[in-house]
C-alpha cells in the first residue's frame, strides 16, 4: 500500500478569544480499506504555529517538512518567529507553483503572532483564506453543521476545545473515512503549541456524553 494513496480525514481549526484550537481524527483510509488506525494529522510547525493535514499522506508529510524548515530558517534569519499569515502565504506559494502537478491536500494553518490569533484554510491550488473557524477533509460537512450552530466570537478556549471535539465526533459517526480517536492542540500567547493528552480528550468526551 503506497503512502501516497491513503486519504480520508476530518480536521478543524477554531479561533477563540484566548487561543487557537486545532483538532483531527486519526484514521487513514485507502478507498474503503482502513489502512492505519493511528495516523498523525496534527503537527507543530513552530512554537506558535500548528497545522492540520487532509489528503494524500506522502504529499502532506513533505509539506510539513517544508514548512517546518522554512519557519526555522525565518526565525534564525530575522530573530523573530514567522507570523501565521507568512506561514500560510509561503505554503500557498508552494502549492500554487505545483498546481499543474498538484499536491492532493487540504490544509489548515493556525496560531498566534503579534496581531493575534488566526486560522487559514488552504486548498491544493494554493488558495489561502483566513476565517474564525474552518474544517477540511471528507468529514468537514458534518463539522460545519456543529460549528455553525454553536460558534460565537466570544467563545472561550475551554469551550472551543469542547466544540472541536463535538465537531470531530459528529464526523466520526457519519463519515466512514474518519475515526479511531481524536487529537487536539491549543496555541496560546502564554504557552504556545500544547497537545492535549488522550486521557484529557476522553474525559471531555465523557462529560459531553459522546462516549
| Residue 108: CATH number of its domain | 3.60.20.10
For 199, residues 6+ apart whose C-beta sits below 8 A from its C-beta are none
pTM: 0.91
Domain presence at residue 148: yes
Domain presence at residue 51: yes
Q: Does residue 142 surpass a pLDDT of 70? A: yes
**What's the total number of domains in the chain?**
1
Q: For 65-98, how does the pLDDT look when each residue is reduced to its tens digit (9 = 90+)?
A: 999 999 999 999 999 999 999 999 999 999 999 8
Domain presence at residue 149: yes
Domain presence at residue 211: no
Three cell numbers written together for 96: 500554487
Q: Which domain holds residue 112?
A: 3-206
Give yes or no for a contact between 143 and 112, defined as CB atoms under 8 angstroms apart. Answer: no
Domain presence at residue 71: yes
Domain presence at residue 53: yes
For residues 21 and 61, give the distance between their C-alpha atoms in angstroms, rounded to a whole number. Answer: 21
Between vectors from CA 44 to CA 1 and to CA 37, what angle results, nearest 5°?
30
List 9, 10, 16, 186, catalytic entry: 9
First to last CA, the chain: 32
Q: For 144-178, how does the pLDDT look when each residue is reduced to its tens digit (9 = 90+)?
A: 999 999 999 999 999 999 999 999 999 888 876 67
Q: Is 52 an annotated catalytic residue?
A: no
Amino acid at each position: 500500500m503506497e503512502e501516497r494513496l491513503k486519504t480520508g480525514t476530518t480536521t478543524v481549526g477554531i479561533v477563540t478569544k484566548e487561543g487557537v484550537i486545532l483538532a483531527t481524527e486519526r484514521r487513514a483510509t485507502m478507498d474503503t480499506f482502513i489502512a492505519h488506525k493511528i495516523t498523525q494529522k496534527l503537527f507543530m510547525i513552530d512554537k506558535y504555529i500548528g497545522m492540520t493535514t487532509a489528503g494524500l499522506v506522502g504529499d502532506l508529510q513533505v509539506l510539513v517538512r517544508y514548512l517546518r524548515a522554512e519557519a526555522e530558517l525565518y526565525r534564525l534569519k530575522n530573530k523573530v518567529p514567522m507570523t501565521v499569515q507568512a506561514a500560510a502565504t509561503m505554503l500557498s506559494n508552494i502549492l500554487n507553483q505545483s498546481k499543474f502537478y498538484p499536491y492532493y491536500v487540504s490544509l489548515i494553518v493556525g496560531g498566534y503572532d503579534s496581531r493575534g490569533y488566526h486560522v487559514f484554510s488552504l486548498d491544493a491550488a494554493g488558495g489561502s483564506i483566513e476565517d474564525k473557524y474552518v474544517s477540511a477533509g471528507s468529514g468537514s460537512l458534518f463539522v460545519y453543521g456543529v460549528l455553525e450552530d454553536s460558534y460565537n466570537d466570544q467563545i472561550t478556549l475551554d469551550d472551543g476545545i469542547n466544540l472541536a471535539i463535538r465537531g470531530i465526533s459528529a464526523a466520526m459517526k457519519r463519515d466512514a473515512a474518519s475515526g479511531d480517536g481524536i487529537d487536539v492542540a491549543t496555541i496560546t500567547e502564554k504557552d504556545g503549541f500544547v497537545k492535549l493528552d488522550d486521557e484529557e480528550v476522553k474525559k471531555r468526551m465523557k462529560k459531553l456524553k459522546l462516549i
